[in-house]
Amino acid sequence: MKRLALPLLALALIVGGALVAYPWVFGGGQASHVRETRAPGRAPVALAPRPQPRVDAGPPGFSVSHAEGGVEVRAAGQSAWRLAVAGQALSADDEVRTGAAGRAVLRASDGSELTLRPGVELKLAVTQQVAAVALARGWVRAQAGIEGRRWEITASEVRAIGSGQSGERFTVFAGERGVVAVATERGEVRVIARGKEVAVGAGFATQVPEGGVPADPSGIPAELLLSVAWPDLERSGRRARVSGTVAVGSDVSVAGAPVVVGPDGKWSAEIALERGTNVVDVRAEDLSGRQKTVTSPPIVVRPGGPALDVDPSKLWDKKP
């Protein structure tokens, strides 16, 4: 038995040594633990990465960034208007309106922004490429966010279409009597109505009368236009009328109360005065957002006597 065991032990040592030495002799001195299975003469085939599911971000939604003085929202498909609050999310076909003293800012996640003055009513329609607004009345200023997403504002039959340039900014005004005005601060805006199109560049404005076509763009005046005709400065009555002229698309307030501006820029307002000395402020804000205030000279209301009876039928009555 001892004679048989010694040869078997030697054979085991030889086989074990061969297994250990094989990687060093045929594998370049490094042991390999990975077997490669491929047909002779063919290069290894790289596996294609597994496709990842596509995620669509969807159109950036708007929210109410700022609201003051009375701002309301009517959700799509609803009949009731509800008070807007900062941070409130807005959806396509939602409507927004501002009161006589209301102001708001609507902002999207891509940086697009819409500023609303008092007396605005509009409806939103948002897509991936277009931030669209149907403006029923009032003044709005649109500012583009990231490159490639443009503003499109429709008022009556007039369309104001931005280029989508980042930082582009323009204003649209829809008056009570159908007039529409558009002014551009940055970029270039196409204004289309009844088959005519004009390009309104930075520092220019155009006006569209009700049912008409856009006028050729003209430069925005360097100074805001605001002329005021004051009433008699000494008077006995406690009511007076103030009138004047502004550029079309301007907002006017007299003694803090908003005034309707006509399509020709003329306006008029009746004011209540106190006995004694009165001072009245007239404030205007034009399409570009510039503001100007004019203060009246002192208006003095003299104390008056009791009201007189001026019924003509009593003039010839005789006392018994």
Domain 62-219, CATH number (from 2.60.120.1440, 3.40.50.920, 3.40.50.2000, 3.40.50.10210): 2.60.120.1440
Residues of the chain with CATH 2.60.120.1440: 62-219
> Mind listing the pLDDT tens digit for each residue in 56-99?
334 557 999 999 999 999 999 999 999 999 999 998 899 999 99
Residues of the chain with CATH 2.60.40.10: 226-301
> Mind listing the pLDDT tens digit for each residue in 97-148?
999 889 999 999 888 999 999 999 999 987 778 889 999 999 999 999 876 6
> Mind listing the pLDDT tens digit for each residue in 144-162?
987 667 899 999 899 999 9
pTM of the predicted protein model:
0.70
Please report the DSSP string for the chain in residue order: -HHHHHHHHHHHHHHHHHHHHHHHHHSTT----------TT-PPPPPPPPPPPP----PPPEEEEEEESSEEEE-TT----EE--TT-EE-TT-EEEE-TT-EEEEEETTS-EEEE-TT-EEEEEE-SSEEEEEEEEEEEEEE--STT-EEEEEETTEEEE----TT-EEEEEE-TTS-EEEEEEESEEEEEETTEEEEEETTEEEEE-TT--PPPPEEPPSS--EEEE---SEES-SEEEEEEEE-TT-EEEETTEEEPBPTTSEEEEEEE--SEEE--EEEEE-TTS-EEEEEPPPEEE----PPP---GGGTT----
Beta bridge partners of 292: 284
Report the pLDDT value the prediction gives residue 60, as an integer from 0 to 100.
Answer: 59
Domain 226-301, CATH number (from 3.40.50.300, 2.40.30.10, 2.60.40.10, 3.40.1030.10): 2.60.40.10
> Mind listing the pLDDT tens digit for each residue in 276-306?
999 999 999 988 888 999 999 999 999 864 4
**Alpha carbon 67 to chain centroid, angstroms:** 13
Sheet hosting strand 266-272, strand order edge to edge: 226-229, 239-246, 266-272
